[in-house]
Chains A and B, each alone.
Chain A
Amino acid sequence: MSKVQLTNVRKTYPNGAEAVRGVDMEIDSGEFIVFVGPSGCGKSTLLRMVAGLESITEGQIQIDDRMINDVSPADRDVAMVFQNYALYPHMTVRGNMSYGLKNRGMPKEEINQKVTEAAKMLRIADFLDRQPNQLSGGQRQRVAMGRAIVREPKVFLFDEPLSNLDAKLRVQMRIEIKRLQRRMNVTSIYVTHDQTEAMTLADRLAVINDGKIEQMGTPIDLYNNPATLFVASFIGSPQVNLLPATFDGQHLVSGDVKLPGFTDLPTSTDLVLGIRPDELHLDDNGQFPMRVDIVEQHGSDNLIYGGILGAINEGDEETEFCFKAGQDMLPELESTLKLGFNAERAMVFNKESGERLR
């Protein structure tokens, strides 16, 4: 049960590169926070600063109101799960899980009891005497989590723990991590670049871009109300459809495409219209003529990709939309569909600044 507080945290490397540029964040006790962002955005650095593996150039990090800037990683009472598991290759599973406790001088019986308990919870009790190289990827990941659990830390840190697993296992482990976190109710910070992982795991999500938090909130809030173009395009799978446009006073205009229903937008700046693939619908009077290019059948629904005829091009490619339809909808390739949308639910961004205008 512990709070984590970051106050104006910055990281500047000796070569002048700024990895983290002023992050403020308050994490409540027992909350599951996910840092998500493209690679190189500073999310791992931020996590490693909480862990104590990177120094803090400026600002403060507190766990339970205790300043930990200069506290060694071991004394911060945090445990971390690494992407490549970082298991000690020469130790058995039991050895791996008990090493941290041994270093803390815990009596043997107590260590054994805790390790056995954690192993049961993670269903690795049968492997306690094996070495990591005799385990599968998923099992190794469990051991890595076991090593974190036995310590009973105040904060769990996960650094892209599922990236090395195959797709199916990843989904399984995702659910397991969530369940475990619920059960143990330990404050957790989880770093990932996978937005599905981020959406499904997080109580709250912090979208990080270029060393700063773009937006923080519940996953559904970020999905429905992204504050910036970056968040809108990062959250949601399939990705939001983006259409470059300008406003002429009554319509949003993009080449030959004129869209009514918008007011109070600046006329002088370049804009971007964002529509989620599931906000589009078939409509004989729809404003978007789409030439079907590819149909992906995902089972319960089909994703139909195609260029919007007459819309402004970005570079040479025509602006492509994705339309999420039911499984019965199987248009012929190269045919043209008319798509409509609900202007109320559409998002408009300033192209330059990425700021959301409505």
Chain B
Amino acid sequence: MKQWNWRLISTHTILIIGVIFMSLPVWVAFATSTHSAESIIRNGLQFWPGGEFVNTYKEVLFVKGGVMKSVLGTTMLKNSLILGIGFAIGKVVISMLAAYAIVYFRFKLAVPLFWVIFMTLLLPLEVRIIPSYGVVAGLGLLDTHFGLIVPLIASATGTFFFRQFFRSVPDELLEAARLDGATAWGFFKDILVPISKTMIAAILIIMFVVGWNQYLWPLIMTTKEENYTLVIGIKQIYQVLAEGGEVPQYQKAFALTILATLPPVLVVLVFQNWFVKGLVESEK
């Protein structure tokens, strides 16, 4: 008889429990979102899908007044995408340029400046949110995508990652490029950016998810409904639910939650190969 491999069984048991623990709430949210408001009120959370999937999601996404007072689910989705993508690209661009300056331009203040940048990790947005709000409001950028994204894109972690990566690029590459007549900008664009592409992909993915999940800043930045992101939408919909006199539309809240979770999951699933590559290997 084949011997039981207890080690294999125990590790798998732990992993399976972990998977259930992590994904069950998501499943319940999805299953509940496909039931009607009345059956949720009567029977509580649902573990199996019901018949209201098309109705609920259609109302959330496309019907005016279906989820917020006026804004559609698709608009919030669009806002979230703009925030996530703008946030990720902005962070990568800014931190690459900063790291390039710190590593390759050996000016006197490079090291202290790097540590100053690094220390901003101690000052997350929550700490500086009032002055940031003041600046953005003063510039008249409230309720704009620009004002939503720009204050967030300075990134100490991104700068740090790129700095470490650039430092591992052999000096001869720069020297060969200099002999080949490359300018500072030419070296950056023709050589450094292409050899960092796996790194860039990894950081873009992480930052997209972080940007997508931003809550506090968009919450105080946006006053008009049409600028809400999905994450803000979720918060607002519960408020709407609490206020109304009619049957609370819990299924729509759950649907919005599921919609808010999907894009980051898709991004990670689709790009996970790049992501892993960027973290473990580098082409030099």
Chain A residues proximal to chain B, CB less than 8 Å = 51-53, 72-75, 78-80, 82-84, 86-91, 99-100, 103-104, 133, 147, 151
A52, A78, A99 interface centre (most CB from chain B within 10 Å): A99
Known: A89-B284, A103-B186. A79 touches B179 (CB 8 A): yes
Question: Are B283 and A82 interface neighbours, CB within 8 A?
Answer: no
Q: Does B181 make an interface contact (CB < 8 A)?
A: yes
Q: Can you list 10 A-B contacts (CB < 8 A)?
A: A52-B178, A82-B172, A87-B176, A88-B177, A89-B195, A100-B180, A103-B180, A133-B283, A147-B180, A151-B180
Question: Are A74 and B181 interface neighbours, CB within 8 A?
Answer: yes
Q: List 11 additional contacts besides A90-B191, A103-B186; criterion CB under 8 Å.
A: A51-B175, A53-B175, A74-B178, A80-B175, A82-B175, A84-B172, A86-B170, A87-B176, A89-B283, A90-B194, A90-B195
Q: Which of B176, B183, B190, B283 contacts A86 (CB 8 A)?
A: B176
Chain B residues proximal to chain A, CB less than 8 Å = 170, 172-173, 175-183, 186, 190-191, 194-195, 197, 283-284
Q: Which of B175, B182, B283 contacts A103 (CB 8 A)?
A: B182
Question: Are B182 and A80 interface neighbours, CB within 8 A?
Answer: no
Q: Which residues of B contact A91 (CB under 8 A)?
A: 194
Question: Are A80 and B179 interface neighbours, CB within 8 A?
Answer: yes
Q: Which residues of B contact A52 (CB under 8 A)?
A: 178-179
Question: Are A103 and B181 interface neighbours, CB within 8 A?
Answer: yes
What are the 4 A-B residue pairs with the smallest beta carbon separation, nearest first? A100-B180, A86-B172, A74-B181, A103-B181
A130: shortest Cβ distance to chain B, in Å? 14
Known: A90-B194, A99-B190. A51 touches B172 (CB 8 A): no
Q: Which residues of A contact B191 (CB under 8 A)?
A: 88, 90
**A75 vs B183: C-alpha distance when bound (angstroms):** 12
- Closest residue of chain B to A79 (Cβ to Cβ) is B179
Q: Which residues of B contact A75 (CB under 8 A)?
A: 181
**A20 vs B190: C-alpha distance when bound (angstroms):** 34
Question: Are B283 and A73 interface neighbours, CB within 8 A?
Answer: no
Question: Are A86 and B182 interface neighbours, CB within 8 A?
Answer: no
**A151 vs B172: C-alpha distance when bound (angstroms):** 18
**A52 vs B179: C-alpha distance when bound (angstroms):** 8
Question: Are A104 and B195 interface neighbours, CB within 8 A?
Answer: no
**A80 vs B172: C-alpha distance when bound (angstroms):** 10
Question: Are B173 and A88 interface neighbours, CB within 8 A?
Answer: yes
**A147 vs B175: C-alpha distance when bound (angstroms):** 13
A104: shortest Cβ distance to chain B, in Å? 6
Q: Which residues of B contact A86 (CB under 8 A)?
A: 170, 172-173, 175-176
Known: A82-B172, A84-B172, A99-B190. A90 touches B179 (CB 8 A): no
Q: Which residues of A contact B190 (CB under 8 A)?
A: 88, 99
Q: Which of A87, A88, A100 contacts B179 (CB 8 A)?
A: A100
- Closest residue of chain B to A151 (Cβ to Cβ) is B180
**A91 vs B170: C-alpha distance when bound (angstroms):** 16
**A86 vs B194: C-alpha distance when bound (angstroms):** 15
Question: Are A104 and B173 interface neighbours, CB within 8 A?
Answer: no
Question: Are B179 and A51 interface neighbours, CB within 8 A?
Answer: yes
Known: A86-B173, A99-B190. A74 touches B179 (CB 8 A): yes
**A306 vs B178: C-alpha distance when bound (angstroms):** 52
Q: Which residues of B contact A87 (CB under 8 A)?
A: 176
Q: Which residues of B contact A53 (CB under 8 A)?
A: 175, 178-179
**A171 vs B175: C-alpha distance when bound (angstroms):** 27
Known: A84-B170, A89-B284. A73 touches B182 (CB 8 A): no
Q: Which residues of B contact A89 (CB under 8 A)?
A: 195, 283-284
B173, B176, B197 interface centre (most CB from chain A within 10 Å): B176
Q: Which residues of B contact A84 (CB under 8 A)?
A: 170, 172
Q: Which residues of A contact B172 (CB under 8 A)?
A: 82-84, 86
Question: Are A90 and B283 interface neighbours, CB within 8 A?
Answer: yes
Q: Which residues of B contact A78 (CB under 8 A)?
A: 179
B253: shortest Cβ distance to chain A, in Å? 47
Q: Which residues of A contact B182 (CB under 8 A)?
A: 74, 99, 103
Question: Are A99 and B194 interface neighbours, CB within 8 A?
Answer: no
